[in-house]
Structure formats: structure tokens, C-alpha cells
Structure 1
Amino acid sequence: MNRVVITGAGIISPLGNNVHTFWNNLKQGKSGISILDVDEDYGKTAAGIVYDFDPVEIFGKKQARKMDRFTQFALAATEQALESSGLELDKINKERLGVFVGSGIGGINTLIENVNILNKKGSSRVSPSLVPTMIPNAAAAQISIRLSALGPSISPVTACSIGNTSIGEAFNTIKHGDADIIFAGGTEAAINSLSLSSFRNAQALTKNLDPASASRPFDVERDGFVISEGAGILVLESLESAVERSAPVICEIIGYGSSSDAYHMVSPNPEGIGAYLSMKKALESGNMTPDEIDLISAHATSTKIGDISETLAIKKAFGKKADSIPITANKSMLGHMLGASGSAEAIALIESIKHGIIPPTINLNNPDPDCDLDYVSEGMRKQQINIGLSNSFGFGGHNATILLKKYL
């Protein structure tokens, strides 16, 4: 079995469009949430919007037009990850280079645009590129083309657990020797009136229009999640490959667990059974005990049932240790990046391990009595971190947990 390390990372997010900016804003407890005036019918909502992102400037007008926003995010994050990894594409075996990048909703903006064209101008004006632009695997395909990657390429669709699913499956693929290097992560760009209307009508979104306090995981006043967008991409590599090319190893991935709630399409099991199993399997995969985990990055979307369910799952997975493990909830600042959330939070966990800093969970002013663990809410906490666990859960009951370790 191969050891698997992380040698590069890239991010596009409401808190910054590179890892350095993203991390500095996150550790300082800065909110990336703003108020979006959707349209005359919908009104306003809190959202985590990516600003200062010009796809034409990055890719050129011709190339940018061939990609939906979710693919543009993924490809931009990939370029960052490629650069930070020091990977020279002409010096590796492309048959052992893979891409595992998914999206939950895919190119919905392109779909809406073409539906409007169909209704206003007729079928002859619908773009012939609609399908290859909107399908959820478009990001993985474009990245594969950019890298000339001939190895395994998949696009997991496990809703909001996609980032961790992609990273975990890439970890297993390299661990078992079926690839040397895989670009893995998730991407999402679904902030539009259609998506927002559906989430709002399902009573999943917050009604809070104070952007700084709209996302408040574990707080008694939480009332739903804040929709967000972006992408996170990691470069996973066998340790042998990384050492051979003197790569800048930034972290090691040592465990992965996945499970299904088998309970409901949108509501988590209230007892947290699936989430517990995901963490249990990740610990078993990494041959770790609860006492060896120094930090938990919670999924924590700021929903009533979800935050309580995850709290119960952590208690079940960690027993007496649960009370003393610090827990951070990045979505308090990032909002919920849907399919991109897991990979963005993995990047945050890597930075925590590197720097010995736990970002705060902001807006946790009045803890829910049913959420009674050590959520870091007093500002960033300095603490040595050797091993961290990150949770991601998604609609349909998909759960994925990864374990990251300081590389020594």
C-alpha cells in the first residue's frame, strides 16, 4: 500500500481566490457573506459570492465561453494547485495522472440561459454546446484536457459531500497503486433565482439578512444555511512519486470513510447514525483511535436538525474524548459551498495543521443546549495539530470523512 500525500492546493471562494488570502481571512474570523438582491420577485438573500473573478482575463474570451461558471472555478483552482505542486507535466507518466472532481448541481446557469433562449427565440437558437457545458462532469473533463491526464477520471455526485468523496476516492486509488497523482476536489456555482427559490421554498435557507451573522452553526438562533459558491482542488500523490520529484509535501492523508443514512432525501438521520459510521470508518481506515484526533472540522451547515445530528454523531464516534476535541465550523464564514465545501474545508484543515491555528466558528453567541461540545468560538485558537478529521454530508444521506496528518 502506498502512503498518500498532498502536494498542491488551489481555491476560489467568497473569502479569497488563492490559498493565502483564503486562510488569512478564515483564521481572522472574517465573514465572506454578502446580501444579494436576486430579482424583483424573489427579493434579497444572504449568499457567499465569489468576487474579483474574471474568466475572460484568466482563460480568454473564446475559452471562457465554452465553460459554465462552475467549470471556470474548478479550472482556475486547478491552475493554482498545479503551480503550487511544482508538477512538470512533461516529466510524468500521463497514464497514471487522474482527475476526481465533482459538482452537485453542475452547469445550471447554462441550462437556465438556454431554457430562456428556447422560450424566447425557439429551438434553433439553443446552443449545441448546452449538454457538454452543463453536465456535472464537465469540470473534470476540462481539467483532464488541460492536464492531458490519461489516468482514471471520475466526477462523483454525492451532493454536499462531493469534495470529501473525491479526495477520499482519490486517496484509495493512489493507495492501492492505480494512479500516481490525482487532482481531486469539488466545485459549485448555483446561485441563481431558480436554485434559491427551491431551497427557500424547502425552508432550508436562512431568513437572516444581516450578512455578518447569517450563518451561525450550533447557535440557538440558527435558521438555515447560506448558499455559497467556489471550488477547491488538491493534488494527491503517492509519497514515492512526491519524493522522486522533490515535491513540496504539505500534508498527508491517512484515512477515509463513507456511509449512507438510508433515511431521507434531504433530512439527516436525527440520531446521526450515518455520520457516525462515516467517522468510524475513517478512523478504522487510518488505524487511528479517538484519542489521536486533535481537531474536527464539522460539516455544520447552520440548520436546526443537521447541527444537532452531527453533534450526536461526534459523541457516538468519540465517546468521552468528544468533550475535549476542538471543533471548528468553516461555514460560519464561508457559507455552504455545496459540492465544493468539502475540498475548501480540507484546504482549511491543511492550513490549520501547518500553522497550529484553529479558525473560529463565528456567530456562536448563544450555543444550542443540544450542541454542547468544544466549538472554537472565542476567536482563532493556537494549538499544535497532528491529525485532523473533516466531515462532509449531503442530500440523499451521503456522508464522507477524511483524516489528514502533519507530514513528518
Structure 2
Amino acid sequence: MDGTAVVVTGLGLVTPAGIGVASSWERVLAGKPTATRIPELSQLPVDFACPVPNFDAAALLSRRTAWRLDRYVQFALVAAREAIQDADLHPGTWEGTRVAIVIGTGIGGAGTTETQYSNLRDLGPHKISPLALPMALPNMAAGQLAIELAATGPNLGVNTACASGATAIGVARDLLRAGTVDIALAGGTEAVITPYYVSAFARMGALSTRHPLETASRPFDTARDGFVMAEGAGMVVLETARHAHDRRARIHAHLLGYGASADAHHVTSPDPEGRGAEQAIRAALADAGVSPNDIDHVNAHGTSTPLNDITEAQVIHRVLGTGPAVTSTKGTTGHSLGAAGAIESIYTILAVQHSLIPPTANLHEPGPGIEVDLVTGEPRRRKITAALNNSFGFGGHNAALIMST
């Protein structure tokens, strides 16, 4: 058995498409958008987003646990519990020093920060909660998960903007390959549907203003005008193949390759030639030991923004040709920033598992210059030998992951 092989044994999701892997996957396969109006945003230029529906933290985590955690940590904890249960692991009995936690987030505790700043402004410094920092810091999802799971191995918070979730999975894979740990919980989480962050993205011109709002997130479509803000978390349990084999674990997929790069071009716009994205994809292919012809499916970053989608489509065409079936699940879920790469990695794994590729919601006419095989309308059944998931972020961060059966 290859001592460096890494496998996925557990999956957990909290997304706008549903809480739990099964419900989220079902809605993504249906291609049913999740955008809805948000009362707290009613006075803003953009008043809609893709929230996690019916998320009752007190019921899911207990009231005692929920009140001291920011929403982004609550999401992470719920998704992590599902992933650990799915992997049939029992933290009370494992060797904690051999377990890593690697969690990505783009922003961290946005809701807590905004609430506590309002308290400072309106009521004075004595009304700031003593839990303000422990709730809001971007490393606290990883820290709280370590406490929850008695995981005393490497504990890392990763921030590569909208690539954070995918980067976290790649970093965790490297820890496993190096022999540092036997098990890693990795993923991304984000909860930034707040007045400040929605306003900030709107001022940049990054958000869609399209109505009806259900049609606003439309990756690769000729009428795309920006992304729709979302939230959620995706968590995977990774293990060395040897460890998973020894405990007779069910294997969802093999994590074959990881590639990362920087555009070194602009803080918000992608390199117009897509050189950084191409570098990450080619690095993932080389790491996986597969050729471009082996990639049957791409879950694209596909944000529904004019620049990202055309650049990514051209890179996919240049590197992989027209062979792979391409989708962007953000048409359904919106863009959950630092959580997106992890959530979409799980959708990629599920596509590999089920030989079924979700459609890109709201995609009716591909934009000019987009010359890839886009999945639209309904799921496409296809045997998938290997699949690629792309994630790109502000600052020019790029990450690519390759999964196989």
C-alpha cells in the first residue's frame, strides 16, 4: 500500500442548500437557487443573499454551547460532527496527538465583530462582551474544534480568502503525507451575511443586483453581473490510506493532488491570462500523477462575476480542453467565500461517488469566449475517473484539488 496515499472517509455540510450532506446534495442536484431577501439588509443596495436555512444553533449544539460561539464556528462544529460520525471515528478513544485540525475562513467572526462594535459605539466600552475576541478571531474555529474533539496534533487556521477551504484541505493532505498525523479534519467555514460585509462587497461592484433575485447567481451565463453572498461550512475527514485500511473505514474518495499558486497581479482582479490559476491546476495534475485527459469533471470556482468566469473558462479550455464536464454549484448555493472551496470539494467527491454531475443553476446562454462543456438543466450521469475542484481568492490566491474513486 502506498504510504503517502490520502483518502476521504468523512463528509459534513452546512450550506444554503441544506443542513447535512444528503439534503444539501439533493438541492444542488435539483439546481434550485437559494437566494432570498434578508431583513437585516433591507436598507442596503443589495438586500438578498443565500443563508443557511432554519439553522437553530441551540437545538443543534445545545444552548450552553451555542451562546458562546460566533455563527461561523457554530457552522464548523455542526459540519465537523457530521463528518466525524460519517467516518465512524470516536474522538474519546483516538490518539489525539495524531489528529490535525486545519480550518479555513476568509473573515472569521463577522457577526460578533459588528455587534460588539455597535455596543462600543452606542453603549460604551463596558458593554463589550468579554467573549468578543474568543468568538470573533479567525483561528477560533480550529481552536474550538480541537477542544470539542480532543485533537492535540497540529491545529491551524488558514486564510487565503475565497480559496481558504480548499487550501485547508490541501495543507491537511500535506500533513498526512509527511507522516505527521494519521487523521485530519479539514475544511472551511464562513458567516458574513452582515450589513458591513454586504455593503463592502456591493461598493466594490462585486455583488449581483439582478432581479428576480432567484436568478441572480448565474455562473458562466452571458447575463451574469456579480456573485450572491452566501454562508456555510464544509468539513472532510482525511486519513492516510494505511490508517483507513487498518480500521476498515469506508472510503468516499482518494485525494490525489493539490496545487497552489499566487497570481501576484492584483488584490481583487484575476490575472487576465489566468496564469496563476493555470499554474495551480498543472501543479495539482503533476502531484496527482494524472494527465489532463484523465479529468472527467471540473467543479469550477464559477462565481458569476464577469472577469472570474471568462478567465477560469479559458484556463480550463487551455489546460483540459473540452473533455471534462464543467459545473459551478454556486448557481444554487451562492458564494460562501472562505467556505466555498471546502463545500465544493465535497460536491466534487459526491459527483465522483455517484457518477452524477450537478447542473449550473440559472445558466441559459454561456457568455462569449466560454468554450467548455457546461452542465445545464439537469444532472448529467457520467463515469468519473478523476475530478478537479478550483478555488480562487482575492489577493491572487489559487488552489486546485483532484479527487478520484
> Shorter-chain TM-score category?
over 0.9
CA deviation string 1:282-334 (max 9, x = no partner) = 0000011001111011001000010011112112322xxx1121101110111
Query: Which residue number in structure 2 is paired with residue 357 of structure 1?
Result: 356
CA distance in 2, matches of 1:40, 1:46: 8
AA partner of residue 182 (structure 2): D
- Aligned-pair distance for 1:45? 2.7
CA distance in 1, matches of 2:223, 2:48: 16
- The answer as to whether partners of 1:97 and 1:181 remain within 8 angstroms in 2 is yes
Matched residue SS, 2:193: coil
Query: Which residue number in structure 1 is paired with residue 80 of structure 2?
Result: 78
CA distance in 1, matches of 2:17, 2:361: 14
Query: Which residue number in structure 1 is paired with residue 330 of structure 2?
Result: 331
- The answer as to whether partners of 1:35 and 1:209 remain within 8 angstroms in 2 is no
How does the TM-score come out when normalised to structure 1? Answer: 0.97
What stretches of structure 2 of length at least 5 have no aligned partner?
none
CA deviation string 1:338-358 (max 9, x = no partner) = 011011111111111111101
Q: How does 1:210-229 map to 2 (within 5 A)?
A: 210-229=212-231
- Aligned-pair distance for 1:137? 0.8
Superposed CA RMSD in Å reads 1.1
- Aligned-pair distance for 1:39? 4.1
CA distance in 1, matches of 2:181, 2:100: 7
Alignment counterpart, residue 130 of structure 1, candidates 132, 135, 139: 132
- The answer as to whether partners of 1:4 and 1:175 remain within 8 angstroms in 2 is yes
Query: Which residue number in structure 2 is paired with residue 207 of structure 1?
Result: 209
CA distance in 2, matches of 1:368, 1:35: 27
- Aligned-pair distance for 1:106? 0.5
AA partner of residue 221 (structure 1): A
- The answer as to whether partners of 2:231 and 2:337 remain within 8 angstroms in 1 is yes
- The answer as to whether partners of 1:12 and 1:231 remain within 8 angstroms in 2 is yes
- The answer as to whether partners of 1:37 and 1:43 remain within 8 angstroms in 2 is no
Q: How does 1:115-154 map to 2 (within 5 A)?
A: 115-154=117-156
Alignment counterpart, residue 252 of structure 2, candidates 250, 253, 263: 250
- Aligned-pair distance for 1:201? 0.6
Matched residue SS, 1:399: strand
Matched residue SS, 2:106: coil
Query: Which residue number in structure 1 is paired with residue 380 of structure 2?
Result: 381
Number of corresponding residues: 403
Alignment counterpart, residue 277 of structure 1, candidates 276, 279, 298: 279
- Aligned-pair distance for 1:46? 2.9
Query: Which residue number in structure 2 is paired with residue 8 of structure 1?
Result: 10
AA partner of residue 390 (structure 1): N
- Of 247-256 and 26-35, the range deviating more from structure 2: 26-35
- Aligned-pair distance for 1:59? 2.0
Matched residue SS, 2:322: helix
CA distance in 2, matches of 1:394, 1:90: 37
Aligned-pair identity in percent equals: 38
Query: Which residue number in structure 2 is paired with residue 238 of structure 1?
Result: 240
- Aligned-pair distance for 1:118? 0.8
Whether 1:344 and 2:346 are equivalent positions in the alignment is no
Q: How does 1:147-162 map to 2 (within 5 A)?
A: 147-162=149-164
CA distance in 2, matches of 1:244, 1:112: 47
How does the TM-score come out when normalised to structure 2? Answer: 0.97
AA partner of residue 304 (structure 2): S
- Of 387-396 and 26-35, the range deviating more from structure 2: 26-35
Alignment counterpart, residue 317 of structure 1, candidates 316, 319, 337: 319
